Amino acid sequence: MTKVIQRREDGAVNFFRAWDAYRDGFGKITGEHWLGLKRMHALTIQANYELRIDLEDFENSTAFAQYGAFGVGLFSVDPDEDGYPLTIADYSGTAGDSMLKHNGMKFTTKDQDNDHSENNCASFYHGAWWYRNCHTSNLNGQYLGGQHTSYADGIEWSSWTGWQYSLKFTEMKIRATREENK
């Protein structure tokens, strides 16, 4: 059974939010939403999970990225204090691997800076993500409607559409690959 943990489809929901919203989740499960870091952690510590990210641009072209291993805060005693670090591995797909740079990173929001940049990447790129210095993907960025003149602040997947193209649709979904505890 798959569980959708993030969806962007029409810009109806503001994703430029504070830490508490990303920790607890927001939006409606039937539309644009973020499941919440706390729930992602609770799910991914119970079993081994894989992640599939489906992407669509405004010309209706599609691509995907599949990761054979996915977890949020897997090795944390206190995941909220530790920033819900991302564990991701084993890429396959057609979109290119725009998540590799983010592996091992803590989550950053406009009010909680956990990245490795001297600036807050979430504030600078109008999103929230497992930023490093700063990103190669920004799926919680602004819904900008395709090609844009600003740099990397839309819903970006750089290995597929570059830094100045904001995607129309993204969906991140996870599925347990083994049910027993790790």
Q: Cβ(67)–Cβ(96) under 8 Å?
A: no
What is the rounded average pLDDT of the residues 156-176? 97
Is 18 contained in some domain? yes
Structural domains of the chain, count:
1
Q: What percentage of the chain exceeds 70 in pLDDT?
A: 97
Would you state the pLDDT for residue 179? Answer: 55
Looking up residue 90, the CATH number of its domain turns out to be 3.90.215.10
Is 155 contained in some domain? yes
Q: Per-residue pLDDT tens for 113-159?
A: 999 999 999 999 999 999 999 999 999 999 999 999 999 999 999 99
Using pLDDT thresholds of 50, 70 and 90, give the confidence band for residue 51: very high
Q: Is the pLDDT of residue 20 over 70?
A: yes
Would you state the pLDDT for residue 181? Answer: 47
Is 182 contained in some domain? no
Would you state the pLDDT for residue 147? Answer: 95
Structural domain for 33, as ranges: 2-177
- The Cα 86–Cα 99 span in angstroms is 10
- The Cα 167–Cα 143 span in angstroms is 8
Is 76 contained in some domain? yes
Structure tokens at 81: 């204090």
Query: Residue type at 60?
Result: N
Would you state the pLDDT for residue 101? Answer: 96
- The Cα 9–Cα 156 span in angstroms is 14
Is 138 contained in some domain? yes
Using pLDDT thresholds of 50, 70 and 90, give the confidence band for residue 182: very low
* Sheet with 26-27, side-by-side order of all strands: 26-27, 33-34, 2-8, 169-178, 48-56, 62-72, 86-93
Is 130 contained in some domain? yes
- The Cα 149–Cα 61 span in angstroms is 21
Would you state the pLDDT for residue 130? Answer: 98
Q: Per-residue pLDDT tens for 83-118?
A: 999 999 999 999 999 999 999 999 999 999 999 999
Is 16 contained in some domain? yes
Is 141 contained in some domain? yes
